[in-house]
Amino acid sequence: QVQLVESGGGLVQAGASLGLSCAASGRTSSLYNMAWFRRAPGKERDLVAAIRWSSGSTYYAASVRGRFTISRDNAKNTMYLQMSSLKPEDTAVYYCAADIDTTFLTIRLKDYDHWGQGTQVTVSS
C-alpha cells in the first residue's frame, strides 16, 4: 500500500500563485504514476495533471495547461503542483493520487487507487 499526505492549499485572490505537495510513504518503490485531481462543488472529480514517476513525463488538463506545473522529487517521494494565475474556477478540493499498476502514463481515474485526504483551494475574485 501507498499512503499519501497532502499539504498546501488555502485561500488566495485571483491571479495569485499557490503550491501543493503530496508526500508518499509505504510501497513507494511500486509507484508508476502520480496525479492531482480536483472536485469542484457540485461537479465530478477531474484530472488536473499527471506525472510518470520514473521518467517525469507529464500530462495536463487543457484548463490548467500553461498555468500549473506538476513535478516530483523521487528522493523525497514527493509530488508537487505549482499553480499560478489562479482563477475562481480553480476553486476545488484537490486530491493527490497514486497508481502502482499501470505501465504507461495514465490519465484514467480508475487507474488511481491510492488517494490523499484532499486539500481545499479557494480562489476569490
- Name 54's Cβ contacts closer than 8 Å, sequence gap at least 6: 32
Dihedral, CA of residue 59, residue 16, residue 63 and residue 43, to nearest 10: 110
- Rg of the chain, C-alpha, whole Å: 13
pLDDT digits (tens, 9 = 90+) for 47-103: 999 999 999 999 999 999 999 999 999 999 999 999 999 999 999 999 999 999 999
Tell which residue, 84, 65, 92, 63, has the closest CA to residue 17: 84
With vertex at residue 113, the alpha carbon angle to CA 108 and CA 116, rounded to the nearest 5 degrees, is 105
